[in-house]
């Protein structure tokens, strides 16, 4: 792919990002479900997964915090979200086996604008999308058996963390096994097997920042079978759950389906596009050693359907080892299928472009026309807001006299009025300094008689859970357990929690947040996690990245240097 084609693809991705994000690019922060950015983030133990919880946001929070030291945090968020669209369009365009720019762009556009991107963006999973965006580069590096290029291609997924790396790992494993032998057709062989250990080593090294702190926590995570039903793929088109997954949708959260998606008037044409792309890929998209990509897409589709088709098997696996919970949210594993669809679209447009170039150009508009609900922040579902002044005052109080903070109400997600009622994971653990205790048990509405509630994972939250649900006064028990502050960020429940905090001093009073100080709180007795394994893991990953960059730059310089006469 030439520099000119890459620049055009990057510009196209930027335009798609601007169109998709719209109001989210205004001054302020976009807060939606798992997407939580805060002003002036600071490094703490939780940033590196050392606070006792599962490191779900490692190392993504650390990268954001580092970038926020040189640029405003809201600009960092906007740059990352736009980068998802730019990288997705460029990487998919580079994978299309065609010399025609229109064909490459068609593949890039459909990869950057599809139901998978829309639903994951509305779910706030920017870290997963960052790894998704670079997945075509990962597939190409794995197909060529180039470990150092794989390390570089994995950087966006490594920033994203465990979910992004799990999806990338699936592609590396399957595509690496299918690497062709020299002079032979694509297939599993000794050449691929010899390269596979090096590819897996690169994958492991890039996973160390989140993998090392995770290993110490998996044994203490409750094996909650309710999560299988809660996060299983669901139908969001007329074609059922499996059909919805084939169309790159099927996310577990009904609230994150883009406006208008799933109606027959758009679902039927989109089904035709996907089937047409798969047929084109089967006929001409497996060039350049990419047959393993089709196998990865099929494996991903199988993993995506486990929770809906054989939930008992998945529950058994999680009971055997809680680490298998990474398979609960199965829909994320249709990402390799999106790569296949993008390549197939590129191949199909390449054939059309030779006879009808005007139709090939119109193909660039098809994904946007069939999924208009993603445009302009998904019809306003994504918008930038500013944090209330009450929150800033609370942060100043806690910073001046540090102590552990308990967040109430005892729920993980909020629908703040100042955020337009949009649901978001409570930002206080990132907004306030020090140790913030939040109920991390996700509650999922099923439309039935009762909601599904996951088990609490944070050990300190798990210990406090019976007390908080008991309805008894909290002040004395929290004082004994080392909790110095209580933050209440739901105005409709101010009176309820005030009655359960007798003797607590109100130090911040505002329309959006109350902060109480518990006098005489004991020092927290929570044992800190060892820092040196995580430090060694991060250094190892950084060293491998520097090694790959040096080797790659050295190779490029050697190729460009003039030969001696």
Judged against a pLDDT cut of 90, whether residue 9 lies above it is answered with yes
Q: Give the span between the Cα atoms of 284 and 188, in whole angstroms.
A: 19
**557, pLDDT greater than 50:** no
- The pLDDT assigned to 50 comes to 83
Domain ranges within the chain, ordered by starting residue = 3-384, 390-517
Question: Which has the higher per-residue pLDDT, 111 or 529?
Answer: 111
Whether residue 157 contacts residue 138, with contact meaning beta carbons closer than 8 Å, is answered with yes
Q: What are phi and psi of 375, to 5 degrees?
A: -70, 150
* pLDDT-based confidence at residue 217 (cuts at 50, 70, 90): low
Rounded CA-CA distance 129/135 in Å is 10
**DSSP one-letter code for 111:** H
Summarize pLDDT for 124-148 with one digit per residue, the tens: 999 999 999 999 999 999 998 889 9
Helices (H), 249-310: 264-284, 291-309
**In this prediction, what percent of the chain has a pLDDT beyond 70?**
89
C-alpha distances (whole Å) from 57 to each of 161, 318, 330, 334, 528 are: 7, 21, 19, 22, 18
Closest CA to 78 of 132, 126, 6: 126
Residue 250 pLDDT:
97
Which range has the worst mean pLDDT, 41-55, 91-105, 474-488, 521-535? 521-535
Distance in angstroms (rounded) separating the CA atoms of residues 144 and 178: 10
Q: For residue 531, what pLDDT is reported? A: 82
CA angle at 194 for the pair 191 and 196, rounded to the nearest 5°? 105
Q: What's the N-to-C CA distance of the chain in angstroms?
A: 30
Percent pLDDT > 90 in the chain is: 73
pLDDT at 187: 40
Tell me whether the omega of the peptide bond preceding residue 59 falls within 30 degrees of 0, making it cis.
yes
pTM: 0.94
CA distance 87 to 135: 10
- Please name the residues in contact with 383: beta carbons below 8 A apart, sequence gap of 6 or more: 23, 24, 26, 30, 377, 420, 422
pLDDT tops 70 at residue 108: yes
What's the pLDDT tens digit per position in 398-435?
A: 999 999 999 999 999 999 999 999 999 999 999 999 89
Mean pLDDT of the chain: 89
Residue 556, pLDDT score: 44
pLDDT digits (tens, 9 = 90+) for 333-388: 999 999 999 999 999 999 998 888 888 889 999 999 999 999 999 999 999 999 99
Cα torsion 52, 55, 59, 60: sign: negative
With bands split at pLDDT 50, 70 and 90, how would you rate the model's confidence at 191?
very low
* Crossing angle of helices 135-144 and 335-353, rounded to 10°: 80
DSSP run (H or E) holding 508: strand 505-509
User: DSSP for 382-445?
Assistant: S-EE---HHHHHHHHHHHHS--EEEEESS-SEE--GGGTT--EE--HHHHSSS-EE-----EE-
Confidence of residue 1 (pLDDT cuts 50, 70, 90): confident
Give pLDDT, residue 2. Answer: 78
133 in Cβ contact with 16 (< 8 Å)? no
Cα–Cα distance, 374 to 215 (Å, whole number):
37
Report pLDDT digits (tens) over 16-25: 999 999 999 9
CA distance 340 to 23: 31
| Range list of H helices, 123-263 | 126-133, 135-144, 147-153, 155-160, 162-177, 190-218, 226-231, 240-246
């Amino acid at each position: 792919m030439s520099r000119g084609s890459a620049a055009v693809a990057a510009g196209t991705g930027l335009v798609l990002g601007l169109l998709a994000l719209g109001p989210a690019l205004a001054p302020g922060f976009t807060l939606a479900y798992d997407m939580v950015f805060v002003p002036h983030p600071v490094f703490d133990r939780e940033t590196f997964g050392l606070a006792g919880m599962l490191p779900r946001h490692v190392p993504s929070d650390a990268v954001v915090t580092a970038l926020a030291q040189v640029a405003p945090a809201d600009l960092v968020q906007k740059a990352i979200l736009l980068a998802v669209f730019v990288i997705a369009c460029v990487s998919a365009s580079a994978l299309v086996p065609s010399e025609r720019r229109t064909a490459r762009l068609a593949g890039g556009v459909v990869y950057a604008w599809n139901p998978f991107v829309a639903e994951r963006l509305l779910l706030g999973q920017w870290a997963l999308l960052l790894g998704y965006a670079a997945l075509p580069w990962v597939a190409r590096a794995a197909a060529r058996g180039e470990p150092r290029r794989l390390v570089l291609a994995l950087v966006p997924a490594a920033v994203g963390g465990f979910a992004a790396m799990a999806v990338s790992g699936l592609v590396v494993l399957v595509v690496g096994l299918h690497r062709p032998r020299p002079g032979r057709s694509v297939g599993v062989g000794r050449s691929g097997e010899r390269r596979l250990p090096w590819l897996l080593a690169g994958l492991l090294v890039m996973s160390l920042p989140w993998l090392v702190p995770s290993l110490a926590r998996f044994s203490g995570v409750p094996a909650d079978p309710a999560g299988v039903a809660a996060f299983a793929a669901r139908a969001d088109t007329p074609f059922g759950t499996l059909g919805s997954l084939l169309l790159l949708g099927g996310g577990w959260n009904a609230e994150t389906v883009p406006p208008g998606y799933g109606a027959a008037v758009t679902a039927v044409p989109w089904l035709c596009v996907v089937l047409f792309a798969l047929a084109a890929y089967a006929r001409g998209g497996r060039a350049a050693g990419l047959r393993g990509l089709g196998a990865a897409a099929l494996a991903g589709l199988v993993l995506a359907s486990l929770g809906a088709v054989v939930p008992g098997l998945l529950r058994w696996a999680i009971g055997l080892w809680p680490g298998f919970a990474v398979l609960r949210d199965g829909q994320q594993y249709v990402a390799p299928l999106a790569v296949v669809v993008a390549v197939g679209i590129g191949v199909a447009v390449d054939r059309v472009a030779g006879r009808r170039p005007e139709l090939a150009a119109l193909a660039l508009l098809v994904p946007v026309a069939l999924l208009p609900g993603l445009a302009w922040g998904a019809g306003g579902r994504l918008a930038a807001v500013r944090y209330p002044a009450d929150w800033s005052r609370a942060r100043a109080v806690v910073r001046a006299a540090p102590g552990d903070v308990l967040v109430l109400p005892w729920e993980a997600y909020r629908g703040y009025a100042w955020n337009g009622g949009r649901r978001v994971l409570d930002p206080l653990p990132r907004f306030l300094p020090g140790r913030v205790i939040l109920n991390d048990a996700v509650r999922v509405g099923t439309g039935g008689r009762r909601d599904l509630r996951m088990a609490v994972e944070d050990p300190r939250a798990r210990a406090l859970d019976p007390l908080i649900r008991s309805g008894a006064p909290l002040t004395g028990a929290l004082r004994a357990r080392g909790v110095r502050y209580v933050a209440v960020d739901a105005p409709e429940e101010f009176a309820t929690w005030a009655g359960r905090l007798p003797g607590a001093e109100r130090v911040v009073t505002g329309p959006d947040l109350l902060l109480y100080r518990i006098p005489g709180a004991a020092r927290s007795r929570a044992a800190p996690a060892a820092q040196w394994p995580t430090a060694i893991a991060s250094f190892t990953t950084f060293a491998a990245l520097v090694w790959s960059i040096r080797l790659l730059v050295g190779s490029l310089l050697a190729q460009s240097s003039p030969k001696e006469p």
